[in-house]
Structure 1
Amino acid sequence: MTIALADLYQEYIDCLNTQDWDSLGKYVGTEVAYNGETVGLAAYRQARMREFREIPDLHFKVSILVCDQNTLASRLEFDISPSGEFLGLPVNGKRVKFCENVFYEYEGGKIVRVWSVLDKAAIEAQLS
């Protein structure tokens, strides 16, 4: 039985939201690349763990999802309160809402490439 890419992605999002770091390798390849740079699974895991430490109320909410056989595009919504600086901005616990547009490439049922763009301008507008 083949699992649909959209279902596999939702399992990945659930893995992030529950902070099930031991299971992350089920969804992400060992040589994963992020925004054009090969970072590997360990560094990818560390980056996600750091995000949850710095943003206690972090939750990934999928609002748009489009996919074909090996590529998936997702619009993620965030409504969060980072504890300090976020993206170089002095958020310091203020609640901010923004979106991330992210594309994933899959090979062998695992994420091997991620391209991410955050709406930093939306955050800046909320801080002014």
Structure 2
Amino acid sequence: MSQATSNAEEFRSLYQTYIESCNARDYEVMKSFYASPVNVMDKRQEPDDIIARCKLLFESFPDWKWEVRHMVIEGDYMTVRFKDSGTHQGEFRGYQATGRKVETTEVTLYHVVDGKFTEIWPLIDFDTVVEQIK
């Protein structure tokens, strides 16, 4: 087995555990995947900052779920395309809860070093979410 294949399998396994912890709201496990500090969109943040942002999202969409649709691994970088979905149960970007189900697309690039996310570049189509709750 080549190093690239081994690395890809390791990253897939790592990410499966991570996304399961996100969908289960297991914040301690989620935090264990982030380096400290971690660069998010080229801004240094602590793992607790990322968790706090996730909690805000979950206040608006308590059943928010990430579903991996595609993953590309190259060296120590991993790109993941998701289907994100949830039910609008709390204020989001100025819109009060509507009870509407929403769905959108996300693509996130991760830099993984020693099993930790050291850099994250998330691109989430929240404009589509807003269109669905207007």
Q: TM-score band, normalised by the shorter chain?
A: 0.7 to 0.9
Larger radius of gyration: 2
Deviations 1:42-63 (A, max 9, x none): 1112222222232111111101
Amino acid at match of 2:71: L
- Pair 1:40-2:46 in alignment: yes
Please, what TM-score do these two structures have when normalized by structure 2? Answer: 0.81
Please, what TM-score do these two structures have when normalized by structure 1? Answer: 0.85
**Counterpart of 2:125?**
119
Structure 1 stretch 24-33 or stretch 60-69: which is displaced more?
A: 24-33
- Pair 1:64-2:70 in alignment: yes
Amino acid at match of 1:96: V
**Counterpart of 1:53?**
59
Amino acid at match of 1:41: P
Tell me, in whole angstroms, the C-alpha distance in 2 between the residues paired with 1:79 and 1:121: 14
**Counterpart of 2:34?**
28
**Counterpart of 2:3?**
none
SS in 1 for 2:109: strand
2:21 is matched with which residue: 15, 18, 33? 15
2:95 is matched with which residue: 90, 102, 116? 90
Gaps of 5+ in 2: 1-5
Gaps of 5+ in 1: none
Tell me, in whole angstroms, the C-alpha distance in 1 between the residues paired with 2:30 and 2:100: 29
Q: 1:71 to 1:91 in 2, by over 3 A?
A: farther
Tell me, in whole angstroms, the C-alpha distance in 2 between the residues paired with 1:36 and 1:83: 31
Tell me, in whole angstroms, the C-alpha distance in 1 between the residues paired with 2:75 and 2:64: 29
Tell me, in whole angstroms, the C-alpha distance in 2 between the residues paired with 1:82 and 1:102: 22
